[in-house]
Structure 1
């Protein structure tokens, strides 16, 4: 017997009937699964957990999971699948929030305020996954713990054997688009992607996350544009691939490690228009990455780290995680204001002399670094084993600090560091440029201007200090209109050459002090 459409719907419970209608195929062959059709109220009070998970479970290929305008409260602790929305083993799907729609994660531990799930979780295998205008907010008071806003777990397929520790079949994820999304107050990372390829992130905003704002591990072929991170608990943007003696997998964290840079070491990234404010670690951090171009980075108020950090760590050093030195990194049009440090190249080599942990390739062009508390620019190795691979062009620094590195430029235990046009403007006659154990240093033009209107009560110190270093500063110009004639602006106890040295005013009788 053939039933009419009216008769069919008459035999179906009311909620299910709406769900059938919501999932009808549209003209473009894409079905829409509406969470309200599964009983979600979206009033911010009702617990919509069951309805949200039922709707997500009904999503199939060529389908869109839709959240109409409203606040959808998810209160279920430790939900099945580990997230409010789980997309596992599906391709050609989308999750879309209408304007004014919000997923409100209210499933924190009521006493400890720790998280019990992620917001949206994508697990491979899967391809062509679009997340549009997803808006997720956690309840107030979340402590750093389980709970990423958006989490994508893939697998770095390179045709080789699976990493050590991997169990089960490969689960690759590729062609993931995240557009216009917002994550607020997540207990862990705002958005994290692990072992994912073909990524496009546009218009993402992360605020008050417990950990990084946007984090990548073992990913490749990515475009990130118009990303902002505000008051995150760790880095604003992090590209981190860990080191292990052999390819390895950590099941608990779903992170991948490699013995060297590979095509999956956060490789082939194009990043533009990034704004970071007030994060508790670094604005942008690269560790174990290759082929990364960043243009348009603005970092303000990072007081516990650097605006831009590129670092390495060999096993046995002072950190729990390890990373090889990053290569083919290009940063252009960067501004840092009121940060602890500006641009920082940091090597933590062990005793082995392994150059994987010391030899970087980082090029910075057009940097404006203002009011950094410690260093505006710092290139260093934490041991006597020298690091290398930093070139900076067209960099201007303004500083007022008189502690740490005085907000200036410092090079220590490094070789082959190259600076183009470097200008430093400081409010006080303190060390603004320091080189210590720097080999083959090459600086086209270094200018230091002191703005203090009168000499200090005590004898002013040197503003350029060079120890145990060789190479050349082709042009060095130093100016301080209020300088006393007794001022000696340069202290040099090294064979570094300075073919052209200009000091103003001319009343200064001795420009350089040598041992």
Structure 2
């Protein structure tokens, strides 16, 4: 066990070789930022105390740095959490309060880094990223962390992940604000987002983007809640995968998420709605299952732009401005081999201010410029009189296989070609 005396020797640059060697033989150690002089009064700058504690943990290895409960919080500037170190609060989620104008606030770099049980408030002084997971990192986790960036000067992303990362987990976190909640651009492998809550974002809550050099693979987005966006965004897309034909995102699972829009049209001049709630472009080997997509300003779930080999199953798409599910699009060069199974798509095609949706798109399911598509066991219609869905299924430049679909109550036709 690291004693206070040992830590003081370590932090002042004393003889550390024996201590480090001993720690390598021991179970995980725990130290506290309070041992290094933190005040946690919400006024005094505690950056130096945090940095000393983190440096001691880095030298010792396999160490957790504890942040004690504090009603006022800890004022800190830029911090780097090094390999093998956990920075953790407790059930009260003590707050770190950003100080000083900075593009990047908290950096997680290397392998085996954990940030847990904390509240992080950017306070309008962070421009690029609240938390940055560095390029090439492996085995980095955020667990039970609240990131808050309300106001008119949000960072570009609350959590920003660099390329060539592996085994990144975001679990049980709450992300409020930011232009983007979670953003990953470039190659990555083994990314899991589960049981998180997103609100107050402007452009995207969750964004995975491939580049010409590489794309994510083995992505799991499961059991997250995405609330409507805040005013001021241009994209306004809750869950988005984008990329390039030459570098598709491979092995994607978007499952059991609850995604809601504000219930207004995307082009509403007074309160612009969201774009497609769940959107996959340039993805292969994908599963979109068990999601709720409700109140979007355009489509509930879209799979388009050169996607292939996937399943859209057991989703509920309700009261969206265009169709509930779209497979392919007018701008897709192709979409191939998609199964659309046992979904419930009702009451879509909602009309609103600024609405430019063509009537053929006010449908439960639209298949356009796609091959090898099967629609089976879907329920598509209007749940009650006065609801807007015009067609159960719309087919354009495609020839999907239709099996056992229940198409009832649509205002104009069950199938429109």
**Is 1:389 equivalent to 2:337 in the alignment?**
yes
| 1:38 corresponds to which of 36, 39, 62 | 36
**Is 1:102 equivalent to 2:112 in the alignment?**
no
C-alpha distance in 1 between matches for 2:182 and 2:108: 18
Measured at CA, do residues 381 and 63 of structure 1 come closer, stay the same or move farther in structure 2, by a change above 3 Å? same
CA drift at 1:191: 1.9
C-alpha distance in 1 between matches for 2:295 and 2:307: 29
* 2:347 aligned partner: 399
Larger RCO (CA within 8 A; separation ≥ 6): 2
- Report matched runs for 1:239-388 at 5 Å: 239-242=208-211, 244=212, 257-258=213-214, 265-279=215-229, 281-287=236-242, 288-301=248-261, 303-311=273-281, 325-340=282-297, 341-347=299-305, 358-383=306-331, 385-388=333-336
| 1:138 corresponds to which of 122, 129, 142 | 122
Are the equivalent residues in 1 in contact too, given 2:238–2:274 (CA < 8 A)? no
C-alpha distance in 1 between matches for 2:224 and 2:172: 10
C-alpha distance in 2 between matches for 1:234 and 1:390: 28
SS at 1:190's partner residue?
strand
Cα RMSD between the aligned structures? 3.3
Measured at CA, do residues 174 and 336 of structure 1 come closer, stay the same or move farther in structure 2, by a change above 3 Å? same
SS at 1:175's partner residue?
strand
SS at 1:50's partner residue?
helix
Are the equivalent residues in 2 in contact too, given 1:119–1:136 (CA < 8 A)? no
| 1:202 corresponds to which of 164, 171, 185 | 171
Measured at CA, do residues 147 and 68 of structure 1 come closer, stay the same or move farther in structure 2, by a change above 3 Å? farther
CA drift at 1:51: 3.1
State the TM-score, normalized to the length of structure 1: 0.63
**What do residues 460-500 of structure 1 show as CA deviations (whole Å, max 9, x unaligned)?**
7555320xxxxxxxxxxxxxxxxxxxxxxxxxxxxxxxxxx
CA drift at 1:437: 1.2
CA drift at 1:200: 3.0
C-alpha distance in 1 between matches for 2:30 and 2:407: 63
| 2:80 corresponds to which of 51, 68, 86 | 86
CA drift at 1:214: 5.3
Are the equivalent residues in 2 in contact too, given 1:189–1:215 (CA < 8 A)? no
C-alpha distance in 1 between matches for 2:341 and 2:362: 21
C-alpha distance in 2 between matches for 1:461 and 1:285: 32
**Is 1:234 equivalent to 2:185 in the alignment?**
no
SS at 2:112's partner residue?
strand
Measured at CA, do residues 326 and 64 of structure 1 come closer, stay the same or move farther in structure 2, by a change above 3 Å? same
Are the equivalent residues in 2 in contact too, given 1:73–1:106 (CA < 8 A)? no
SS at 1:41's partner residue?
coil
Measured at CA, do residues 146 and 389 of structure 1 come closer, stay the same or move farther in structure 2, by a change above 3 Å? farther
**Is 1:151 equivalent to 2:145 in the alignment?**
no
Measured at CA, do residues 266 and 384 of structure 1 come closer, stay the same or move farther in structure 2, by a change above 3 Å? closer
* 1:118 aligned partner: 104
Measured at CA, do residues 128 and 434 of structure 1 come closer, stay the same or move farther in structure 2, by a change above 3 Å? same
Structure 1: runs of 5 or more not aligned:
77-83, 109-115, 156-172, 245-256, 259-264, 312-324, 348-357, 452-459, 467-515
C-alpha distance in 2 between matches for 1:444 and 1:359: 22
* 1:52 aligned partner: 50
**Is 1:66 equivalent to 2:66 in the alignment?**
yes
**What do residues 200-256 of structure 1 show as CA deviations (whole Å, max 9, x unaligned)?**
3321211112213354642212333212211212222222221x2xxxxxxxxxxxx
CA drift at 1:73: 4.4
C-alpha distance in 2 between matches for 1:363 and 1:434: 19
C-alpha distance in 2 between matches for 1:235 and 1:122: 22
C-alpha distance in 1 between matches for 2:332 and 2:83: 51
State the TM-score, normalized to the length of structure 2: 0.77
C-alpha distance in 2 between matches for 1:310 and 1:273: 17
C-alpha distance in 2 between matches for 1:226 and 1:290: 22
Are the equivalent residues in 2 in contact too, given 1:73–1:103 (CA < 8 A)? yes
* 1:409 aligned partner: 365
- Report matched runs for 1:182-221 at 5 Å: 182-185=146-149, 187-194=155-162, 195-213=164-182, 215=184, 217-221=186-190
**What do residues 361-380 of structure 1 show as CA deviations (whole Å, max 9, x unaligned)?**
22111011110112211123
- Report matched runs for 1:156-167 at 5 Å: none
**What do residues 30-84 of structure 1 show as CA deviations (whole Å, max 9, x unaligned)?**
44443233332211122323333343344312222221112444465xxxxxxx2
Give the number of equivalent residue pairs.
Answer: 365
User: Which 4+ residue blocks in structure 1 deviate beyond 4 angstroms?
Assistant: 23-29, 460-463
Are the equivalent residues in 2 in contact too, given 1:273–1:297 (CA < 8 A)? yes
SS at 1:128's partner residue?
coil
CA drift at 1:286: 2.2
C-alpha distance in 2 between matches for 1:42 and 1:304: 40
CA drift at 1:428: 4.2
C-alpha distance in 2 between matches for 1:225 and 1:429: 32
